C-alpha cells in the first residue's frame, strides 16, 4: 500500500515529511513526492523512483520555508509508475494538492463529469479526480469541499488535502484505508502508519470510516461528513520509535526473524500457564454455552495469514473434532458461502486493514455471524469492526514479507484451539497440560534454531542461482510448505511452488530435472516412511533435496537419501509448524541476500493490502 505523511507546526515541514516518508519505505513504492505550503506559493516536487531521488531533486532552501505540507510514496494501481502519475496531485488552478491511498472506483465517471465542466487532467491516476473535485466544490471552506468530495466518491481512500490560501491547515478523510493523526505540542502529524511520526509523539487519534479531520498546528477537530463534531479518545502507541529501527541488523526482515522468541512469549503471556495452569482467553468473551454450541469453524484470511489458517484447519479438526473451513478472503465474497448458525467465524489480518478480509468480515456480520478477529494492530479497522479481538502482540513488523506476525498468528490459533478444547472437554487435563508445557518451551527451541543460521546459508548458496524450486510436505507439513514457498518467491524472486507430497505422481514429477532444488518437510512421525518414499522418487530423477526433519527420527536414512539435512528440535508433532517455518524463513532470507535482492522492499509488493 502507498504511504501518506502530513505535518503542520512550528518547524520546517520538509525534513519532517522526508523523515516520515523514509519510515514508510517498507510498504513498497515506485514514486515519491511532497507539497509544501510555503510563504509565497504552494511548492510541489515528485518523481518516479526512490525517496533519495526526490531528496536530491528538492535540494534548495525554498522548500525549507514551509511550515505545513503533505508527502506520499506511491504503489501504482491506476497508471504506470511515472513522474506525472506520482503524488501529490494538483487541481487546475494549482492551489489545491492532495495525496491519496486506495482506489476510486467511479473515477472514470467523475473524470468525465469534471471534464464536461472544464477541468483538465494530466495524469492517468484515479487519485487526480480528488483534487479537481475539491476545486469544484470549494467556496472558501476546505473542510466542506473535502466533505462534498468524499460524498461523490465510491471506493476506498485515505486522503489529505492542502490549500494555498490556508498556510497551516490540512484536511484529511478516510474510508477503508488507515489514517492516523499524531498529536504533538504546537504541531500535529498525519500518517497512514505510526512509524512516520513516532520520533515526535506516541499520542494519536485513529480515524474511523467516514471521519474527516481538520488539522492545524494547535488543534485537531474531527467531524462526520455531515459536519457533526466527533469526540475521540487519544490512543497511546505502546511501542516506541526504536522498536521500528533496525538496531544494527542489515535488514528489518532478519531483525524480525530474530525477534520471534520474544514475540511468541508476548503472545502467550497471561494466556497460558497462569495460576492453576491451563489456558485463559477472556478476550474471546464466549460463554460455556456458546463454546459448547460451536459445531463448525470458518477461517478467512489472505496470503501468509491464509497459510496460518490452513495450519489451524489441521490442528483444530484433529483436536476439536469439528469441521474447519479455510477460505481466501478475496474469494469468499464472490461466491455463496454456507454459514452455519453454530459457527465460529475467524478472520486473520496482520495489519487489520486488509481490504478483502475486511469485506469478508462485513459480509459475515451482515449475515448475522459473530466474528473473532486475530490481528496485530490495536485500533485497526478489523479490530474495531469485529465482535471480539485476539491481539497477537507481535510488535511492529516493518519488512514486507511477514515472519513474526505469521508465527504469532500460528501461536494465537493454537491458544484458541486448546482453550476451546479445554472448555469443550475435547482433551483430558493431562493432554492439555502436556500441550501447555510444550508451547511454553517453544520460544527456547526457536532460539536454538536461530543460532544455526550458518547451516541454512549453505543451502541458500546452492539455491540462489536457480530460477525455480519446489517444496513438498504431507499433512500439516504441506501447509507450512506453502508458506515457505511464498517467502522464497516474495523476496528472492525464485519461482517456488509447494505440493502435497502424495501428489508427486499426479504430474509434479514431470517438473523434476537434474539438480533442481526441492525442499522437503518431514516433521510428522506417523508418516515418515511415506515421506521418505517421496524423497526417493525425487532423488531418482536427479532432484537436489534439502530436508527439514524432526530430531531423533530416521536419522541414518535421511542422511543417506538427501543432499542437505536440517534437524528441527523435537516437540509435539502437532506443534511442529511453529518450529519448522523458522528455517524456511531463514532460507528465503539468505537466498535473497545471495541473489542481491532488496529484502525489505520486494518489487510490486506492499505490506498492507488495502485495496481489493
pLDDT at 461: 96
d(CA 29, CA 26): 8
- The per-residue pLDDT for range 63-83, each reduced to its tens digit, is 778 899 999 998 777 787 899
Nearest to 187 by CA among 179, 196, 197: 197
Rounded mean pLDDT of 391-410?
A: 90
Mean pLDDT, the chain, rounded, equals 90
The percentage of the chain sitting over the pLDDT mark of 90, rounded to a whole number, equals 64
pLDDT at 413: 98
- β strands within 216-306, DSSP E: 220-224, 229-230, 235-236, 296-301
Task: Grade residue 567 by pLDDT with cuts at 50, 70 and 90.
Answer: very high
Rounded mean pLDDT of 364-369?
A: 87
d(CA 361, CA 357): 6
- The per-residue pLDDT for range 264-276, each reduced to its tens digit, is 998 998 898 765 6
Residue 246 has pLDDT above 80, yes or no: no
Residue 62 has pLDDT above 80, yes or no: no
Q: Please name each of the domains of the chain with its CATH number.
A: 3-244 (3.60.20.10), 246-449 (3.40.50.10490), 452-612 (3.40.50.10490)
Nearest to 586 by CA among 313, 285, 212, 256: 256
d(CA 557, CA 573): 20
d(CA 404, CA 583): 13
Count CB atoms within 10 A of the CB of residue 316.
26
Grid coordinates given for 272: 497460558
d(CA 239, CA 568): 32
Structural contact between residues 333 and 356, judged by C-beta atoms closer than 8 angstroms: yes
Residue 184: CB partners within 8 Å, gap ≥ 6?
9, 197, 200, 201, 203
Amino acid at each position: 500500500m502507498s504511504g501518506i505523511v502530513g505535518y503542520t507546526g512550528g518547524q520546517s515541514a520538509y525534513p519532517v515529511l522526508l523523515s516520515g516518508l523514509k519510515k514508510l519505505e517498507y510498504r513498497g513504492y515506485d514514486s515519491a513526492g511532497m507539497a509544501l505550503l510555503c510563504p509565497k506559493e504552494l511548492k510541489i516536487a515528485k518523481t518516479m523512483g526512490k525517496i533519495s531521488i526526490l531528496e536530491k531533486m528538492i535540494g534548495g532552501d525554498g522548500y525549507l520555508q514551509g511550515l505545513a505540507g503533505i508527502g506520499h510514496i506511491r504503489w501504482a494501481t491506476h497508471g504506470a509508475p511515472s513522474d506525472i502519475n506520482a503524488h501529490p496531485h494538483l487541481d487546475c488552478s494549482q492551489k489545491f494538492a492532495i495525496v491519496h491511498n486506495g482506489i476510486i472506483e467511479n473515477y472514470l465517471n467523475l473524470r468525465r463529469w469534471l471534464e464536461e465542466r472544464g477541468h483538465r487532467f494530466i495524469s492517468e491516476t484515479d487519485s487526480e479526480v480528488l483534487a479537481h473535485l475539491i476545486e469544484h466544490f470549494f467556496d472558501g471552506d476546505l473542510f466542506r469541499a473535502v466533505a462534498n468530495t468524499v460524498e461523490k466518491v465510491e471506493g476506498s481512500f485515505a486522503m489529505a488535502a492542502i490549500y494555498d490560501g490556508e498556510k497551516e491547515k490540512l484536511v484529511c478523510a478516510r474510508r477503508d484505508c488507515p489514517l492516523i493523526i499524531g498529536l504533538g505540542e504546537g504541531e500535529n502529524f498525519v500518517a497512514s502508519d505510526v512509524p512516520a511520526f513516532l520520533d515526535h509523539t506516541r499520542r494519536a487519534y485513529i480515524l474511523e470510516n467516514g471521519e474527516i479531520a481538520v488539522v492545524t498546528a494547535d488543534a485537531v477537530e474531527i467531524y462526520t461528513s455531515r459536519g457533526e463534531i466527533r469526540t475521540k479518545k487519544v490512543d497511546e502507541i505502546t511501542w516506541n520509535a526504536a522498536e521500528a529501527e533496525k538496531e544494527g541488523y542489515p535488514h528489518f526482515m532478519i531483525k524480525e526473524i530474530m525477534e520471534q522468541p520474544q514475540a511468541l512469549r508476548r503472545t502467550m503471556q497471561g494466556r497460558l500457564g497462569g495460576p492453576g495452569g491451563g489456558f485463559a482467553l477472556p478476550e474471546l468473551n464466549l460463554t460455556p454455552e456458546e463454546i459448547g454450541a460451536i459445531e463448525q469453524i470458518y477461517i478467512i484470511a489472505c496470503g501468509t495469514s491464509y497459510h496460518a489458517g490452513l495450519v489451524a484447519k489441521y490442528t483444530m479438526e484433529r483436536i476439536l473434532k469439528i469441521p474447519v473451513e479455510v477460505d481466501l478472503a478475496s474469494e469468499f465474497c464472490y461466491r455463496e458461502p454456507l454459514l452455519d448458525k453454530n459457527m465460529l467465524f475467524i478472520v486473520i489480518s496482520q495489519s487489520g486493514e486488509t481490504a478483502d478480509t475486511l469485506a469478508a468480515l462485513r459480509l459475515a456480520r451482515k449475515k448475522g455471524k459473530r466474528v473473532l478477529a486475530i490481528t496485530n494492530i490495536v485500533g485497526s479497522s478489523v479490530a474495531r469492526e469485529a465482535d471480539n479481538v485476539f491481539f497477537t502482540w507481535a510488535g511492529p513488523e516493518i519488512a514486507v514479507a511477514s515472519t513474526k506476525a505469521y508465527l504469532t498468528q500460528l501461536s494465537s490459533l493454537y491458544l484458541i484451539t486448546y482453550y476451546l478444547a479445554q472448555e469443550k472437554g475435547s482433551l483430558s487435563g493431562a493432554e492439555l497440560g502436556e500441550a501447555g508445557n510444550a508451547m511454553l518451551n517453544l520460544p527456547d527451541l526457536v532460539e536454538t534454531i536461530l543460532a544455526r543460521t550458518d547451516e541454512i546459508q549453505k543451502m541458500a548458496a546452492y539455491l540462489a542461482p536457480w530460477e525455480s524450486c519446489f517444496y513438498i510436505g504431507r499433512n500439516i507439513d504441506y501447509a507450512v510448505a506453502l508458506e515457505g514457498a511464498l517467502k522464497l518467491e516474495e523476496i528472492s524472486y525464485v519461482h517456488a511452488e509447494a505440493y502435497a507430497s502424495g501428489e508427486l505422481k499426479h504430474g509434479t514429477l514431470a517438473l523434476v530435472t537434474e539438480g533442481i532444488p526441492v525442499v522437503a518437510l518431514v516433521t510428522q512421525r506417523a508418516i515418515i516412511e511415506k515421506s521418505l518414499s517421496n524423497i526417493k522418487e525425487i532423488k531418482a530423477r536427479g532432484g537436489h533435496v534439502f530436508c527439514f526433519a524432526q530430531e531423533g527420527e530416521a536419522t541414518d536414512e535421511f542422511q543417506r537419501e538427501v543432499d542437505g539435512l536440517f534437524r528441527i528440535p523435537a516437540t509435539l508433532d502437532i506443534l511442529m509448524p511453529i518450529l519448522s517455518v523458522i528455517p524456511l524463513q531463514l532460507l528465503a532470507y539468505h537466498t535473497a541476500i545471495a541473489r542481491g535482492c532488496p529484502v525489505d522492499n520486494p518489487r510490486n509488493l506492499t505490506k498492507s493490502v488495502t485495496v481489493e
